[in-house]
A and B are shown apart, each in its own frame.
Chain A
Amino acid sequence: DQQVKQNSPSLSVQEGRISILNCDYTNSMFDYFLWYKKYPAEGPTFLISISSIKDKNEDGRFTVFLNKSAKHLSLHIVPSQPGDSAVYFCAASELGSGGGADGLTFGKGTHLIIQP
């Protein structure tokens, strides 16, 4: 049973436009969400996170939105740049309820391709 779903395996966006990556979850106990970015042959890099007490968190060109009632979060990248081409993983944790390290569940990832 997949608790964190990234339903788009890939997404193609033109350079300069907005990239929107989506993530759905089923476990209502998740209270902390993260996005990681991964280039080929490298390890994932932490990008941005959001706690369930917020509905938005912004860091430069990256903004994560959380809709708890819909159990949905999205990552917006504005404007998209060629270096943003990578695989993006959504992850969720039951941090507040003491879920700990073993409570971090990853989605399968979305491959974002930025076209010139």
Chain B
Amino acid sequence: NAGVTQTPKFRVLKTGQSMTLLCAQDMNHEYMYWYRQDPGMGLRLIHYSVGEGTTAKGEVPDGYNVSRLKKQNFLLGLESAAPSQTSVYFCASSFRDPPRFFGPGTRLTVL
């Protein structure tokens, strides 16, 4: 079992560029989440999904889009990156709320 994996681990973008972060889980979990963590802050929920084909907004959804086309994958997209999106992004999954298993994180810098 790989658990929750995230791709890539690090990325540097220029303002206005786009990218997709991939989260994969092999535990057959229904619930998947995307969080961001900024320095000195707790984790904040961006978007989440309660099953294949479903998505919902979290606390800080602006500037992000998500898709859950397959149960095991949850994609987070940035259409036009901004410096305010510099952060560490964590994906998580669970059978139900709240999130129990987190990925190792993606460190994103937007210049």
Residue of B41, B42, B58, B105 ringed by the most chain A CB atoms within 10 A:
B42
A108 touches B42 (CB 8 A): yes
- B4's contact among A41, A43, A104, by CB below 8 Å, is which? A43
B90 touches A104 (CB 8 A): no
Q: Are A107 and B42 in contact (CB under 8 A)?
A: yes
Tell me, yes or no, whether B83 is within 8 Å of chain A by CB. no
Minimum CB distance partner of A89 in chain B = B42
Known: A41-B105, A108-B41. A32 touches B98 (CB 8 A): yes
Q: What is the 8 Å Cβ interface bit string for chain A, positions 9-27, against chain B (1 contact, 0 not)?
A: 0000000000000000000
Q: Do A43 and B58 touch (CB < 8 A)? A: no
CB-defined contacts of A108 to chain B, threshold 8 Å: 40-42
Known: A41-B105, A43-B104, A43-B105. A100 touches B90 (CB 8 A): no
Q: Which interface class (under 10, 10 to 19, 20 to 34, 35 or more) fits B?
A: 20 to 34
| Any A CB within 8 A of the CB of B50 | yes
Chain A, range 95-110, C-beta contacts under 8 Å to B: 95, 100-109
Mask, B75-92, CB within 8 Å of A = 1, is 000000000000000101
In the docked arrangement, what's the CA distance between A36 and B31, Å? Answer: 18
- CB of A106 within 8 A of CB of B102, answer no
Say if the beta carbon of B74 comes within 8 Å of chain A.
no
Point out the residues of chain A lying under 8 angstroms from B48, CB to CB.
101-102
Interface residues in chain B, defined as those with a beta carbon under 8 Å from any beta carbon in chain A: 4, 31, 33, 40-45, 48, 50, 56-59, 90, 92, 97-105
Interface residues of A (CB under 8 A from B): 4, 32, 34, 36, 41-46, 89, 91, 93, 95, 100-109
